């Protein structure tokens, strides 16, 4: 049932978002001629790696410059187009394709990097018992303003108590989290590269 809901929501959202994705792709390409998509290996359900898709918001090769995978506000590696895409969280739209492919779910803990998973304790590893999501309990509860351990705890809390009612609550609260600006942040910095 969850898979059917994921396919319906992600498929519908891709159709609705396709004009925005096309405009964003054009803007990215016109700005510096580099690739439109950024692909990064993330850890999914049961610790299996997958290729996360994002619209590229930073200069080509950004992960080898400056702060590496961490990104702070005002980071000079972020392109002009990238600033707008990040501000509106439009750079995350290609992850709808990750949902369609079955690597992610609409709702679940945000997928993290391998080095972060290697630091999990036994309780925190339960975060990997479900598919990672585009939005989740930590995102709607102030993710960017919370310490890393608190974010993980919120994700584990979700995994232990997930239900259709809780998922609907997260879906309803996600737009408010986006507008409040509390949605940003994946790897401990403002938002992950690129």
Going along 109-191, which residue ranges are E strands?
A: 133-135
Give the pLDDT of residue 188: 37
69 pLDDT tier (thresholds 50, 70, 90):
low
* Cα–Cα distance measured from residue 173 to residue 39, given in angstroms and rounded to the nearest whole number: 28
Give yes or no for residue 39 having a pLDDT over 80: yes
Is residue 81 one of the residues assigned to a domain? yes
Q: Is residue 72 part of a domain?
A: yes
Question: Does 27 fall in a domain?
Answer: yes
Residue 49: pLDDT band (50, 70, 90) is very high
Structure confidence at residue 72 (pLDDT): 65
Predicted pLDDT of residue 183: 43
Whether 73 maps to a domain, the answer reads yes
Asked if the structure places residue 12 within a domain, the reply is: yes
Task: Report d(CA 44, CA 16) in Å as an integer.
Answer: 26
Q: Mention every residue, 6+ apart, whose C-beta is less than 8 A from residue 16.
A: none
The residue segments making up the domain with residue 62 are 2-180
pTM, 2 dp: 0.85
- State the Cα–Cα distance between residues 45 and 49, nearest whole angstrom: 8
Domain assignment of residue 76, yes or no:
yes
Is 185 part of any domain?
A: no
Counting the structural domains of the chain, the total is 1
């Amino acid at each position: 049932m969850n898979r059917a809901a994921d396919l319906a929501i992600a498929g519908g959202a891709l159709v609705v978002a396709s004009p925005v994705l096309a405009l964003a792709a054009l803007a990215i390409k016109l700005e510096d001629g580099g690739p439109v998509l950024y692909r990064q290996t993330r850890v999914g359900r049961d610790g299996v790696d997958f290729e996360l898709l994002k619209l590229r918001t930073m200069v080509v090769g950004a992960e080898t410059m400056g702060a590496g995978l961490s990104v702070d506000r005002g980071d000079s590696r972020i392109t002009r187009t990238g600033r707008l895409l990040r501000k509106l969280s439009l750079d995350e739209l290609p992850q709808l394709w990750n949902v369609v492919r079955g690597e992610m779910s609409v709702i679940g803990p945000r997928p993290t990097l391998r080095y972060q998973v290697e630091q999990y304790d036994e309780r925190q590893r339960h975060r990997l018992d479900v598919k990672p999501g585009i939005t989740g309990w930590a995102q709607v509860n102030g993710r960017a303003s919370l310490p890393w351990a608190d974010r993980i705890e919120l994700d584990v809390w979700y995994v232990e108590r997930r239900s259709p009612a809780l998922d609907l609550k997260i879906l309803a609260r996600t737009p408010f989290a986006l507008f409040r600006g509390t949605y940003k942040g994946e790897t401990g910095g403002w938002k992950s590269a690129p």
